[in-house]
């Protein structure tokens, strides 16, 4: 699962939520590195918006190949609605009136 919110950042930022149920620290850190590497590759293809993303890793991700993780990440990102700062500001303006 990936969550995004608009910011003025120049690059996307990734935050990870990886439960101990996924595995020990070695397994969790390996997954984090693999997903971060997949994200860099997707960023080079301009598939990320400039926003912070929360990547929630489930236990079934253990043992996935880099290609599979990259595909999962790309699919999750493509399902996210396009977020723009101006949209967020317009919504804030609406509530302030």
Whether 78 has a pLDDT exceeding 60, the answer reads yes
Whether 90 has a pLDDT exceeding 50, the answer reads no
Q: Residue 9 belongs to what domain range?
A: 2-87
Q: Decide if 14 is inside a domain.
A: yes
Q: Which helix (H) or strand (E) holds 29?
A: helix 25-44
Global pTM reads 0.69
Q: Decide if 66 is inside a domain.
A: yes
Q: Decide if 72 is inside a domain.
A: yes
Q: Decide if 59 is inside a domain.
A: yes
Whether 38 has a pLDDT exceeding 80, the answer reads yes
pLDDT band at 1 (very low <50, low <70, confident <90, very high): low
Q: Decide if 97 is inside a domain.
A: no
In 3D, which of 55, 46, 44 has the Cα closest to residue 13? 55
Top-confidence residue, 27 or 4: 27
What is the count of structural domains for the chain? 1
Q: Decide if 78 is inside a domain.
A: yes
Per-residue CA distances from 36 to 33, 47, 97 (Å): 5, 14, 41
Task: Evaluate whether 15 touches 37 at the Cβ level (below 8 Å).
Answer: no
CATH number of the structural domain spanning residue 78: 3.30.230.10
Task: Evaluate whether 31 touches 61 at the Cβ level (below 8 Å).
Answer: yes
**Mean pLDDT across the stretch 53-79?**
89
């Amino acid at each position: 699962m990936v969550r995004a919110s608009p910011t003025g950042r120049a690059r996307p930022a990734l935050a990870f939520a990886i439960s101990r149920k996924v595995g020990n620290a070695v397994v969790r850190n390996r997954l984090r590195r693999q997903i971060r590497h997949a994200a860099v590759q997707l960023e080079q293809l301009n598939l990320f918006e400039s926003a912070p993303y929360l990547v929630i890793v489930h236990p079934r991700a253990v043992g996935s190949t880099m290609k599979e993780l990259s595909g999962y990440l790309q699919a999750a990102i493509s399902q996210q609605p396009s977020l723009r700062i101006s949209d967020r500001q317009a919504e804030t303006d609406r509530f302030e009136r």
